[in-house]
């Protein structure tokens, strides 16, 4: 049952800009669930399948437009480099004591980005913009820093329209979630399959909702939620 609940948390929080890894670490601490990095990474396979199904038309567009595909590759590189260079640091960061600060950082970034909604299209993205978005994603290797929050916020701040910012973030999640799941598929145990199924189902729900929320310019609501979670994690973990 714990794995199924963690899959729900993963599915909702992977695409809501609230940090799935941070929530899984917090839930693991509070309720005694399994919270090691291999298990957390394996749950990303469910959200990989969800985003693949949800963005299939955009994936086909990317395959037909070599420039957009190239930009996605450029945006993917920074996180891979950072993980390879600082793997031990990333793994050590999966500590509940880091969560209050990390959740607060994500909340602040979301508030700043929520006032922006430009007109640039992802199909015309520059190499510089793709690199900046990729660097933003690299910060999300640490629990409490939201991957979708960082990438959507970076795109918004660079002047991209809301819907395109969301879809670029979704597409960018594909290599990261697939790699994380495959690299950690060994030794996670049979119960992890329940988590994968629930992360897939609730990931689809979250994808639909976050697209609507950004479209109606309510992105800042997630920041207020993260302030509450940061406060909760402070009193649960630090004090």
Q: Which residue has the higher pLDDT, 122 or 238?
A: 122
Calculated CA dihedral for residues 106, 21, 226, 148, nearest 10 degrees: 50
Rounded to whole angstroms, how far apart are CA atoms 154 and 135?
A: 9
83-125 confidence digits (pLDDT tens): 889 988 988 888 888 999 999 999 999 999 988 878 899 999 9
Among residues 87, 81, 94, the alpha carbon closest in space to that of 21 is found at: 94
Q: What is the pTM of this model?
A: 0.87
pLDDT at 65 over 90: no
Mean pLDDT of the region 115-142: 92
Mean pLDDT of the region 1-15: 82
Asked whether the beta carbons of 200 and 11 are under 8 A apart, the reply is yes
In the chain, where are the structural domains located?
Answer: 2-238
28-62 confidence digits (pLDDT tens): 888 877 656 667 777 778 888 999 999 998 899 88
180-230 confidence digits (pLDDT tens): 667 666 656 666 778 888 989 999 999 989 888 887 778 889 999 999 999
Rounded to whole angstroms, how far apart are CA atoms 106 and 122?
A: 23
Sign of the alpha-carbon dihedral angle for 162, 165, 167, 170:
negative
> What was the pLDDT predicted at 20?
84
Task: List b or e across 85-114, with b for residues whose CB sees 16 or more CB atoms inside 10 angstroms.
Answer: eeeeebeebbebebbbbbbbbbbebbbebb
């Amino acid at each position: 049952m714990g794995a199924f609940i963690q899959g729900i948390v993963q599915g909702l929080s992977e695409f809501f800009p609230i940090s799935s890894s941070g929530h899984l670490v917090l839930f693991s601490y509070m309720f005694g669930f399994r919270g090691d990095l291999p298990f957390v990474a394996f749950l990303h396979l469910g959200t990989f399948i969800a985003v693949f199904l949800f963005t299939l038309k955009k994936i086909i567009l990317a395959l037909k437009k070599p420039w957009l595909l190239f930009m996605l590759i450029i945006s993917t590189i920074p996180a891979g480099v950072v993980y390879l260079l600082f793997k031990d640091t990333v793994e050590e960061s999966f500590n509940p004591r880091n969560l209050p600060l990390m959740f607060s950082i994500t909340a602040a970034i979301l508030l700043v980005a929520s006032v922006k909604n430009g007109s640039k299209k992802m199909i015309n993205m520059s190499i510089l913009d793709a690199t900046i978005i990729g660097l933003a994603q690299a910060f999300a290797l640490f629990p409490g820093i939201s991957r979708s929050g960082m990438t959507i916020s970076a795109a918004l701040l660079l002047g991209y329209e809301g819907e395109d910012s969301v879809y670029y973030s979704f597409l960018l999640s594909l290599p990261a979630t697939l790699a994380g799941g495959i690299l950690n598929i060994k030794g996670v145990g049979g119960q992890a399959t329940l988590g994968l199924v629930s992360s897939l189902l609730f990931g689809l729900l979250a994808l639909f909702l976050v697209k609507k929320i950004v479209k109606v310019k309510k992105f800042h609501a997630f920041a207020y939620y993260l302030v509450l979670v940061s406060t909760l994690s402070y009193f649960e973990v630090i004090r």
